């Protein structure tokens, strides 16, 4: 009897927890992946062509101990129907809301705002396996502070396979993006360098901002498969290993859409300076604005696979991530 009662209480508690989950697509992959971190990511991703020299500087700053280089973007019309601009490397930048986060060892109540910049087609130790390398990553709770005593160092280990993450400040703070009136949407990520809720505001250098609209797939420079391929490249970790952080768009709740707009890189896009960054300086006028870039958005199911060697990770990318 007592056992039954505690079972019922546990069940009620789990229902109460589930009902707190945001109005975002529910996690349909946790059931198949009980031992690793799963979540749903209502994200917007932009592909920003950046000059190769700046891309290389940004990844060398992020992985000072590793032998990283840039691979050329292959001529693959199934990904890039018009090719990719010569002399440029794709930076993939995303802002979104991660929710329904499940982990075997650690559960998080509520969602987390997440934003990252990656350089894609990165090579480790001369290998031809294309990887993505993070130049910066930010995280925040939906009301600012991180829930459950989570701190960036712990989030880095639990959520991102050990890639460094910084405390961010997002607008909006509890949704993936917001309306700017008419068809225009926006999302912003700042670097919460010295947040100090008691004595006043800290320093918040800009990291990356989006202003965008929805476009037809036919107006996009990249195919849906192209975006999915870039989003799902194995992520290089500071340990010289890789994580396949898989994003699936196959569930009916994904609702993927194509976007076009302006991405601004600020001092927090790469490096460790609060006033400048290589990607910011690489824009045409040095202000960090990259206008008329294409993006993709949707509510993806994400599986943070166990860390493995980078060539092995590259050989085992799940083909379902491209569907
Ligand atoms: C993703 O977020 C946007 C903005 O808040 C919302 O309108 C949309 O319904 C969300 N999509 C899903 C599938 O949860
Ligand atoms: C992007 O910037 C250009 C100016 O360079 C502006 O005309 C355009 O409206 C902006 N697009 C969006 C979606 O804000
Ligand atoms: C959601 O997507 C995952 C990964 O592709 C798949 O295993 C699962 O069957 C899908 N669930 C539903 C309800 O479509």
Pocket of ligand 1 (CB under 6 A): 24-25, 42, 175-177, 253, 255, 299
- Rounded Cα gap, residues 74 and 56, in angstroms: 18
Asked if the structure places residue 7 within a domain, the reply is: no
Q: Measure 24 CA to ligand 1 centroid, in angstroms.
A: 6
Question: Would you state the torsion angle of the CA atoms of residues 274, 192, 151, 280, taken in this order, to the nearest 10 degrees?
Answer: -50
Provide the mean pLDDT of the chain.
90
Question: Would you state the torsion angle of the CA atoms of residues 120, 121, 124, 125, taken in this order, to the nearest 10 degrees?
Answer: -150
- Rounded Cα gap, residues 32 and 209, in angstroms: 35
At 253 the pLDDT is 95
Question: Would you state the torsion angle of the CA atoms of residues 68, 241, 248, 47, taken in this order, to the nearest 10 degrees?
Answer: -20
Q: Angle at the Cα of 36 (from 314 to 254), degrees rounded to 5? A: 75
Atom of ligand 2 nearest to the CA of 184: 13
CATH number at residue 252: 2.40.400
Is 115's pLDDT higher than 60? yes
Gap between the terminal Cα atoms of the chain:
49
pLDDT digits (tens, 9 = 90+) for 181-221: 999 999 999 999 876 666 666 789 999 999 999 999 999 99
Q: Which residues contact 26 (CB under 8 A, 6 or more apart)?
A: 40, 100, 253
Helical ranges in 160-290 per DSSP H = 224-231, 278-281
Asked if the structure places residue 17 within a domain, the reply is: no
Domain residues for the domain of 112 are: 25-322
Asked if the structure places residue 46 within a domain, the reply is: yes
Asked if the structure places residue 50 within a domain, the reply is: yes
At 198 the pLDDT is 66
Asked if the structure places residue 144 within a domain, the reply is: yes
Q: Measure 234 CA to ligand 1 centroid, in angstroms.
A: 26
Nearest CA, atom 1, ligand 1: 42
pTM (2 decimals)?
Answer: 0.91
**Are 218 and 276 a contacting pair, CB within 8 Å?**
no
Asked if the structure places residue 117 within a domain, the reply is: yes
pLDDT digits (tens, 9 = 90+) for 80-99: 999 999 999 999 999 999 99
Give the number of the ligand closest to the Cα of residue 259.
Answer: 2
Asked if the structure places residue 8 within a domain, the reply is: no
Q: Give the tokens for residue 66.
A: 């590793």
Asked if the structure places residue 6 within a domain, the reply is: no
Provide φ and ψ at 231, rounded to 5°: -60, -30
Instruction: Tell me how many domains the chain contains.
Output: 1
Q: Give the tokens for residue 320.
A: 């379902």
Is 126's pLDDT higher than 90? yes
Pocket of ligand 3 (CB under 6 A): 28-29, 32, 248, 250-251, 301, 320
């Amino acid at each position: 009897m007592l056992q039954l009662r505690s079972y019922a209480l546990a069940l009620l508690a789990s229902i109460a927890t589930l009902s707190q989950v945001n109005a975002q697509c529910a996690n349909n992959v946790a059931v198949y992946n009980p031992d690793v971190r799963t979540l749903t990511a209502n994200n917007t991703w932009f592909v920003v062509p950046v000059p190769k020299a700046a891309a290389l500087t940004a990844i060398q700053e992020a992985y000072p101990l590793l032998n990283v280089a840039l691979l050329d973007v292959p001529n693959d019309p199934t990904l890039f129907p018009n090719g990719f601009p010569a002399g440029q490397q794709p930076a993939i930048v995303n802002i979104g809301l991660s929710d329904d986060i499940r982990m075997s060892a650690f559960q998080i109540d509520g969602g987390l705002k997440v934003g990252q910049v990656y350089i894609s087609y990165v090579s480790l130790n001369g290998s031809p396996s294309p990887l993505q390398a993070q130049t910066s990553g930010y995280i925040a709770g939906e009301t600012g502070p991180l829930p459950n005593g989570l701190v960036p160092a712990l989030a880095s280990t639990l959520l991102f396979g050990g890639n460094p993450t910084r405390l961010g400040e997002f607008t909006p703070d509890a949704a993936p993006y917001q309306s700017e009136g008419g068809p225009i949407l926006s999302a912003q990520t700042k670097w919460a360098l010295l947040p100090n809720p008691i004595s006043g505001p800290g320093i918040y250098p800009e990291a990356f901002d989006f202003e965008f609209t929805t476009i037809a797939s036919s107006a996009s420079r990249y195919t849906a498969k192209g975006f999915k391929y870039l989003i799902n490249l194995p992520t290089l970790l500071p340990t010289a290993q890789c994580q396949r952080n898989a994003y699936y768009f196959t569930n009916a709740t994904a609702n993927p859409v194509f976007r076009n707009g302006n991405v601004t890189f600020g001092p927090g896009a790469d490096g460790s300076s609060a006033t400048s960054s290589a990607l910011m300086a690489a824009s045409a006028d040095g202000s960090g604005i990259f206008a008329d870039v294409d993006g993709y958005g949707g509510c993806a199911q994400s599986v943070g696979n166990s860390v493995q060697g980078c060539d092995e990770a590259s050989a085992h990318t799940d083909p379902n991530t491209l569907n």
